[in-house]
Amino acid sequence: MYDFANTSFALVVLALVWPQMFHHYWGVNLSPQFESIAFKLTQAVPCFLIFFAAPFLGQLAMKGKFRRRALRWSVLLGGLCTVGLGWVPEGHWLFSAALYSFGGIAFFAASTFYDSMIVDYAPAGKRHQLSGMAFASGFVAGVVMLVGLAMGLFSGPTLHWIYPAAGAWWILFSLPLLTQPDHRGIDAEPFSLSVAWRGTLDTAKKLWAEPRVRWFLLAYILYIDGVHAVKTSAAHFGAVLGFSSGDLIKAFLVVQVIGIPAALAFGWLAHRVGAVRMIAFALVAYVFLTILGSQISPGMLTVLGCSFPSVWLIAAGVGLIQGGVQALSRSYFAELVPAGEEVVYFGFYSMMGKFAAFLGPVLGAIAGACFVSSTDETAAERAGFASFALLFIFGLYFLLKANRAAKR
């Protein structure tokens, strides 16, 4: 249910509506080059801050009472920031960016606590399948939201109401998890910042000393960065290229519809052929999708007599692999860490994911700045999107190193 709940922020704010409104509404008075760089740096800020906090939060998550309270406050703060976006006036890009950043910090902090719960709620032999099911439920939520957008429930003068609706969705559907007692029970020891800090340093040493974990986290930094960058940049990229809002909504709907069975299939296949093979397959596919995506232009494609917008081809490919690679990364990492220390290790897992989410937009901004063209306003965006392929290539390299270390 929590994957179902937080999809509202992930889809409306991170992925689809906010990026388009930043381009067409809040950043309407900015130059194309400045707007592109400002958008990417706004994406990077919450990830940069959570990068430093996540390992510490992982230590605190060992305490059941703290984890339960922190998850509740994170969801509440994120939901309220999402609601607030509905009242930001046109042209006030900095105010919009601030609410995005605070909401993103809350979203990513909540994910740190939530991801650690997989070791408490999911039996070891079922984690790949259950993690895939959880991501599939998020795609179901995305289908519901996108159908509503396609039907025009939030359009024109009522578009701003999508933010209060998304914030309420996040909070409401989180209640089944937030009202449950934490499996870690009541804390026996008093809360201590110094103990948590020392535990963070000790965990960092243990992580680096274990080759499998070390190489996997280096791989994860890179490839999950690419996954996040593709997801959060797609709508803004499409808007800059000239795709209509309707085409982009339908493209995201294609991702969600295909993503439901694909996430389930990834979990089922990983149980039989191994998580590493399935993740590696997804990374190779992402390399081709980012390079191909950087070259697309508005227009129609015809395949087997069926015509559809060119962006749908990229959307279909992303839908096949996006949920699977995220779900299997979470469940595979749970199998690498020592028994009894899964929660603090997930703090570092979350840290790596947030650093990745920070690194991707910055890489895109640098690549875009290097390829600014006075004759082509889309050159910076195309270069930034193509640069994400490097993250998947190097991520695949370190993933294979982690797999070789596991066989020794």
Q: What are the chain's domains?
A: 2-183+195-407 (1.20.1250.20)
Residue 374: predicted pLDDT: 64
User: Considering only CA atoms, which of 350, 294, 270, 344 is closest in space to residue 46?
Assistant: 350
pTM value is 0.71
Q: Which of 33-37, 120-124, 294-298 has the lowest mean pLDDT?
A: 120-124
C-alpha distances out from residue 389 to 43, 294, 351, 373, 383, Å: 19, 10, 22, 21, 11
Residue 309, beta-bridge partner list: 300
Give the separation between CA 224 and CA 18, rounded to whole angstroms: 21
Which residue did the predictor score with more confidence, 244 or 184? 244
- State how far the Cα of 75 lies from the Cα of 53, in Å rounded to an integer: 17
Which residue(s) pair with 308 in the sheet?
301
pLDDT in tens, 51-86: 677 666 666 666 656 777 888 999 999 999 999 999
- Measure CA 9 to chain center: 10
Helix (H, G, I), strand (E, B) or coil at 135: helix
Q: Which amino acid is at 99?
A: L
**138-147, 201-210, 226-235 — most confident range:** 138-147
* 404 Cβ contact list (under 8 Å, min separation 6): none
Q: How far apart are CA 330 and CA 349, in angstroms?
A: 9
| 8 Å CB contact between 348 and 206 | no
